[in-house]
Amino acid sequence: MTNPASKTILKALAGEKQAVPPVWMMRQAGRYLPEYRATRAKAGDFLSLCYNPDLAAEVTLQPIRRYNFDAAILFADILLIPQALGADLWFVTGEGPRLSTITTPDDLKALKPVDTIHETLNPIYETVKILASELPRETTLIGFAGAPWTVATYMIAGRGTPDQGPAHALREADPATFEALLDLITAATIDYLSMQIEAGAEVVKIFDSWAGSLKGDDFTKYALKPAKKIITALKAKHPNTPVIAFPREAGNGYIGFAKATGADCVALDNSISPEWGAANVQVDGCVQGNLASRHMVTGGQELRDETKAIVKAFENGPHIFNLGHGITPDADPDNVHVMLEAIRG
């Protein structure tokens, strides 16, 4: 086993500045890669792929073989927790996830207790174990979960929505049910991430993809405080496991987020400039980000220039290079090589 101190991602998360930042990409295992599409066809459908440890490990390893990223992120989905709690979950081709909705106290009561989720999620822990043994020794293994607010938006609406309107409406109309749902997801997330760590994840990341639609006190109550609760619980059990928090499109909410939650790193989206991120967020420690995903589609000199500009902006502190959001299915796999060449020279 490699000494963890020699892994570049872990060095960055410990606050170390490096001449060449480590790099990985959100959704790096996915539809832009032909080998992923072939493996998914073999699995039959998306959920079958998530719950097949051998195939899920295979698609996690594919981008590592192709690009030699510094980290691999477990292949799974943020909506496996709702399914493990008893919600119906299915995927509509070309449209995304659908869930049975949770909008009333009775809906909430019908969900399963947190201590039963592992019956459904055991295959995910098996995937982590396979990856822990098969990844190159220098590659960091990242586990993840969705943040309570983001997961709740899907459970309340039954699908993704452009403005998270149904979740905001329930928050205002029935705060008791809304907050009870958030508490349930928070407790399940702590258990889920803890089990990933026990299976071999070296870092975990909390994706709050819709944090940006929470404003003012609501951001503090429903994005920051649940993140703090999860991180505090994980640190009590696994004090040496770093946590990356991603409150996407948080704007000024990024400022002080690491200190307020205990996160070891804050991932930044591309709605803010890297210069702003360095001045306002990196002052508190490691940051991750934040190349716009569109550059993976368009490529060219603009991709090289923007990549180098981000490396330059964050060069005075700990930085993990990444996109500002997940790579999209229409990305050109060759553009990833262009990005890596710009970072690593």
Instruction: List active site positions.
Output: 27, 31, 40, 77, 154
Say if residues 318 and 16 touch (Cβ distance below 8 Å). yes
Distance CA 157, CA 133 (A): 39
β-bridge partners, 267: 288
Distance CA 107, CA 100 (A): 9
Distance CA 112, CA 98 (A): 19
**Distances in Å between the alpha carbon of 154 and those of 97, 146, 209, 210?**
8, 11, 11, 10
Closest Cα to residue 121, out of 154, 88, 83, 150?
A: 83
Residue 82 dihedral angles phi and psi, to the nearest 5°: -55, -40
Element (H, E) at 73: strand 71-73
Distance CA 161, CA 154 (A): 8
Neighbours of 124 (CB within 10 A): 24
Say if residues 143 and 56 touch (Cβ distance below 8 Å). no
Distance CA 207, CA 244 (A): 9
